[in-house]
Amino acid sequence: MRPTLPLSTWIIAVDLDATRSIRRQGGHPAEECLCADCMTWKRVAAKALPSGLDEQLKRLGIEKDKPTDLYVYGRHEGRLDFRVMFHVVGKILSGASPWLQGSDEGRMHNYHVVQSEPTWVGLRVSKAWDSFEYAPHVEKDVQSDVVCIDFRLQVLV
């Protein structure tokens, strides 16, 4: 099954079987991790991402409380800034560029703002090889189709 599915501004032709196999293979950094940040994410995941994306994420085969990787990049009084990544297999048909335009040197990641209030949530969808972070390994012929669903978001704690 390779349905064509929307996620915010993106349209992705998702290989649901290959995406499930990523889930089954295990060994991802955030999987079964018991560190404080992963435990916090498990607690807040259901509500931290905009509820408008719930149905879209579900159809993509993404479980919000089971990211492949995550870390906290900002710690403030009452707020943590999380980077949370999920991976699917498929082809990005359209959507915001993963790079900010007009900067040839030191290309900057482009996060599309999917929510600004009450907490900021940005989303970047790219081929995994346009990300510098962990990516699952899959069979050779589909490795180029691994897609990183990359959130940066504020979480009130």
Candidates 3, 35, 74, 79; binder of Zn ion (CB under 5 A) is 35
Q: Does 39 bind Zn ion (CB under 5 A)?
A: no
Nearer of residues 35 and 46 to Zn ion, judged by Cβ? 35
Q: Is 8 helix (H, G, I), strand (E, B) or coil?
A: coil
The reply to whether 33 sits near Zn ion by the rule CB under 5 A is yes
* Interface segment toward Zn ion; rule CB under 5 A; list 37-45, 55-63, 83-91, 126-134: 37-45
Q: Determine if residue 27 is left, alpha or beta; phi over 0 gives left, psi from -120 to 50 gives alpha, anything else beta.
A: left
**Are β-strands 112-115 and 146-156 bridged in parallel, bridged antiparallel, or unpaired?**
unpaired
**Nearest distance from residue 101's CB to Zn ion, in Å?**
34
The Cα angle at residue 69 between residues 67 and 71, in degrees rounded to 5: 115
How many Å is the maximal CA-CA distance in the chain? 46
Interface map 97-136 toward Zn ion (x if CB under 5 A): ----------------------------------------
C-beta closer to Zn ion: residue 40 or 115: 40
CA gap 121, 44 in Å, rounded:
14
Minimum CB–partner distance for residue 5 and Zn ion (Å): 28
Cβ of residue 111: shortest distance to Zn ion, in angstroms?
22
CB 84 within 8 A of CB 153: yes
Query: Which residue, 33 or 96, is less far from Zn ion as judged by CB?
Result: 33
Q: Is 72 in the site for Zn ion (CB under 5 A)?
A: no
In whole angstroms, what separates CA 36 from the centre of its chain?
A: 20
- From CA 98, how far away is CA 110, in angstroms rounded? 5
Q: Which residues bind Zn ion (CB under 5 A)?
A: 33, 35, 38
